[in-house]
Structure 1
Amino acid sequence: MISRFHFPGRLPDGGEVALPDDLAHHALRVLRLRDGEPLVLFDGEGGEVEARLAVRGKAGFAVLGERRPFDRESPLRAVLVQALAAGDKMDWVVQKAVELGVAAIQPVQAERSVLRLAGERADKRRAHWQQVAVSACEQSGRNRIPEVAPIQPLLQWLAAARGQAAWVLAPGGGDGLPAGERPEGVVHVLVGPEGGWTEGELAACDAAGVRRMTLGPRVLRTETAGLAALAVLQARWGDF
């Protein structure tokens, strides 16, 4: 497969661009690409650009070809509202949700979240997750990068999301997966933390018009549940 890279900043129409140091290091030192090898670059503005690698000493450049208007975005505009999870689970969720075509990821702080983030730590983790999303786009062929939004408390998010199409995963209660025509606009899927939602949080979801949804008789882990729901919704309303 031809290597794909996200280029920070708008790619010009034709000509040559210098590869940023981290991108050049990955291409030359990690992947060991050679001078003249083909590349695909994308800048997140839609489409992708065929290019050729030009190596000069330790520096890398890309000789640009045509921008191809490939758009691999799903017609389902799904936002994963994921309660913070500990360890590397959030990395896994972000990576796989992007592969599954999610439009955006909204991390939320839940009462039972083991991971607690605020201030500079929250900003650093968000930046890390955004880079995970970029890498997942490089691998999966997406040319538009989903945003990982700033962390919000669940109740704050609910207050701003009233009236929008949203389902909260609630094992042991709620309806099955939604049927009928795809809703207009964005669809939100809420996933709780390792310890699950509290009754108070579920009541707040009810009050905000978020519908409860179950994925069957088995209880799925937080890093599994949202991805399973996204996959089924993509099959029902998306491009699977």
Structure 2
Amino acid sequence: MNKTEELVNMAIKCDNAGRLLEAHLLYTNILGKLLQDSNCDAVLKDKEMHQSFAQHIQSYVQRSEHIEKHLKEISRSRNVVDYIFIENDDTNCGYETILGKYLKGDKIKELLLEETRLESDSDFEEAHDFFEFVCRRCKKLKFIKLITQKSKTNTEKQFEQLEQLREELSRKDIDMIISFNDVVGAKILVNTGYVIRIDRGLHFYQPANKHSSSKKAHGYSNRKCNATCIEIALGATFMDIYD
């Protein structure tokens, strides 16, 4: 079995299981391979082979676009099921307390996080805490896609910290891909259909003062917060793509 066939089998397996984030990535990689291979001399000289490549490319483009459309439709869901309002200086607002109801259970296999800012050490501390919480609550989680914006001050340090985060998740058998793009509003999307919009993203905690309890001992539950609004909507599940 060559590399392309292996990718196709993996993509179809993920697709059939409703793991659309990973399937979309695999279809994208397959298309890259097929486009590259279709331009080699042996294929260009063989009309039948070239036509076969074109048909496969069209098929994977259509499937990739269908998945992308389904994910966008879920992401835009306005079927709001809960609002959470955090007042300035509120405590007892750890990720587990406020999001645990929606991010839990063996049904969660994939997660998309769109975060406007991941630059400072405190940004990454909060991201680490969030992913630790997700790993505890979602034992079957296998794939995370993180979309954020490139640092305007120190991209090298940002890349190093993102890679450290990716490696930590990999040790838990969770693959994470990182994409840089403009992020208008922070958002969490999971394959069960929940869409969580947080106006401050993961960073609604106030800086800890030097006299506060250890974060390692108590997480962020005892940290004072900035005023934040969290909206939870419920859209279609990833598996609903087959309906």
With the length of structure 1 as denominator, give the TM-score of the two structures: 0.29
More helix by share: 2
With the length of structure 2 as denominator, give the TM-score of the two structures: 0.29
More strand by share: 1
Which of 1 and 2 has higher RCO (CA within 8 Å, sep 6+)? Answer: 2
